[in-house]
Chains A and B, each alone.
Chain A
């Protein structure tokens, strides 16, 4: 298996070995990876940590971008629909939490989140039903308009408090189970800093870490769902639609329905991220949701690699983390960021982590063996 062509086989063999690894080992490795990311703000590693801003808060921002990127990746990466107004769904999620949690009601936080994703999903369906019949550039223009319309409605509507925005947005209910210390680094020597702790899970004003943990939980849930969907009839239908809509339709794929589904899923995740953002921020106003944010979200997915969930996350890190890490060049950071994007577009247009399709194919073979082994074998 690993003895065919010398060079590409080397790269391949690691993946193969991983795929042949026992299930227990895989689960263990994944659990360790997840644990590392949960512990990241506490470990506070010297090179990764952000010297000029609170590391926990930065991590929350990155996780928020990650969530959005995963959502947009379904729309853009899988179904191939160019959505330039993704910030609209983010805003709808945030405003729903604000309106029903502070401005015109005081519903409990879990209900608010459910409401937020419901409303944003509904807005996705409402926007998608008429617009997904147009293609390519037209869809981009319509969605671009949608993002701006949401912002302008918020800016002009008395009901939404116009430019003043919404304050006192409820935070998630705190648990305060136990306190976790942060590591403090002096060169390569780490000391446990008992003065700088994070409480699991106290959603307060200052400490961003619990919010990051919450966002991470959602990211993991969505990653799992995303993986299951991509490896199914739904994921195949999305990709077929992206590749050739007419051929897909003539091979029995109801493309419109699947496009709408992708749009609704993207809206769901965007709304969720917006709701988290509003809860962390405590206050929102229309200027938060300018079109630049849509472009940033889009950059995350494109830079990361459309169609690969890990790529989308990597893109979110580039877009959310790098500018914070290099705050010392604050005045130039947009310039540097722009240059970086240019270099990337030039030298790696498919993104940092483009989809590894060949690997997915081998997965299908394994899946067959697995299914034959379990159910087929049981029947025989």
Chain B
């Protein structure tokens, strides 16, 4: 497969991109429950991949498997040519996978800026001695971190909230702050776990623009989302899970018309079908 330069990456998004992350027949069992059953898919460099499926389909489990929260029972996850193996979670983050959480998990008693700084610190190296004696490394990294933080806060429309405690931010602001914090770790792959949950249509529209912008900056994005309009509108490709199995994969138009997806995901209930159609 040809190497892609950064410039033509977004143009080439979708089919053709180099796989950045591969789930290779990943199975995850919790006792007798099979949460993921031989799931395989690629996330290609520069694309926005949607991961959808009804409640309990294993979306978040898949998410956790590829961010290192869970170890697959069998199969493996390969990121950027390297199997994740038994790497610690912070090491996986440093490899270049960052994520947000379905139920927001910020550092509530730290300010918005500090939250982003923690992310920025993930690639910093100054420890006790550097900090105690304010050595050049500490100064350089502090300057760099603060600048990156301000840049990201600005990008997320949070510049004016930098000095406020994270827990005092509004719901939408908290969601955006989580994205800023994740981006501060300078990931190659950004995983968003239902970032639009609880958003109104205007906020959702803004979020879609934001996700596109994040991608255009050279990031690859994995998106778990319930809102069909959002998923169809923003993703390049979609993977559909049901009961821990992958049942479909393809461009949004394909997925929309895939009978298996319509049956499984949208349900067979007529009322619900028509309701979802309006959404689409």
- Contacts A233-B124, A358-B111, A367-B142 given; indicate if A251 touches B185 (C-beta within 8 A): yes
B139 adjacent to A248 (CB under 8 Å): no
Q: Give the segment of B115-123, B204-212, B233-241, B269-277 that binds chain A.
A: B115-123
Query: Which residues of A are found within 8 Å of B182, using beta-carbon distances?
Result: 251
- Contacts A233-B131, A371-B139 given; indicate if A251 touches B111 (C-beta within 8 A): no
B127 adjacent to A234 (CB under 8 Å): yes
B122 adjacent to A253 (CB under 8 Å): yes
Query: Which residues of B are found within 8 Å of A255, using beta-carbon distances?
Result: 90
Which 7 pairs from chain A and chain B are nearest by CB?
A252-B122, A232-B131, A243-B107, A361-B163, A361-B111, A247-B105, A252-B93
Query: Which residues of B are found within 8 Å of A372, using beta-carbon distances?
Result: 143
Query: Which residues of B are found within 8 Å of A251, using beta-carbon distances?
Result: 90, 93, 98, 118-119, 122, 181-182, 184-185
State which residues 229-272 of A face B: CB under 8 Å.
Answer: 229, 231-237, 239-240, 243-244, 246-255, 261
A233 adjacent to B121 (CB under 8 Å): yes
8 Å CB contact of B165 from A225, A249, A250, A358: A358
A234 adjacent to B128 (CB under 8 Å): yes
B132 adjacent to A240 (CB under 8 Å): no
Q: Does A4 contact B (CB under 8 A)?
A: no
B139 adjacent to A236 (CB under 8 Å): no
- Contacts A248-B107, A250-B67, A358-B111 given; indicate if A233 touches B141 (C-beta within 8 A): yes
Q: Does B213 contact A (CB under 8 A)?
A: no
| A173 CB to nearest chain B CB (Å) | 27
If over half of B's interface residues share one DSSP class (helix, strand or loop), that class is named, otherwise mixed; here it is helix
Interface digits, B88-100 against A, CB 8 Å rule (1 contact, 0 not)? 1110011000110
8 Å CB contact of B111 from A232, A248, A261, A357: A357
- Contacts A236-B121, A255-B90 given; indicate if A247 touches B107 (C-beta within 8 A): yes
Q: How large is the interface on B (under 10, 10 to 19, 20 to 34, 35 or more residues)?
A: 35 or more
Question: Whole-angstrom distance between the alpha carbons of A361 and B162 in the complex?
Answer: 8
Question: Whole-angstrom distance between the alpha carbons of A355 and B143 in the complex?
Answer: 24
In the complex, residue of chain B having the shortest beta-carbon distance to the beta carbon of A249: B89
Q: Does A228 contact B (CB under 8 A)?
A: yes
B109 adjacent to A239 (CB under 8 Å): yes
Q: Does A368 contact B (CB under 8 A)?
A: yes
| B174 CB to nearest chain A CB (Å) | 12
Q: Does A375 contact B (CB under 8 A)?
A: yes
B141 adjacent to A243 (CB under 8 Å): no
B99 adjacent to A250 (CB under 8 Å): yes
A229 adjacent to B128 (CB under 8 Å): yes
A236 adjacent to B114 (CB under 8 Å): yes
Query: Which residues of A are found within 8 Å of B109, using beta-carbon distances?
Result: 239, 243, 355, 357
Q: Does A362 contact B (CB under 8 A)?
A: yes
In the complex, residue of chain A having the shortest beta-carbon distance to the beta carbon of B108: A243
Query: Which residues of A are found within 8 Å of B138, using beta-carbon distances?
Result: 232-233
- Contacts A247-B105, A253-B90 given; indicate if A364 touches B113 (C-beta within 8 A): yes
A229 adjacent to B132 (CB under 8 Å): yes
- Contacts A225-B132, A232-B138 given; indicate if A254 touches B88 (C-beta within 8 A): yes
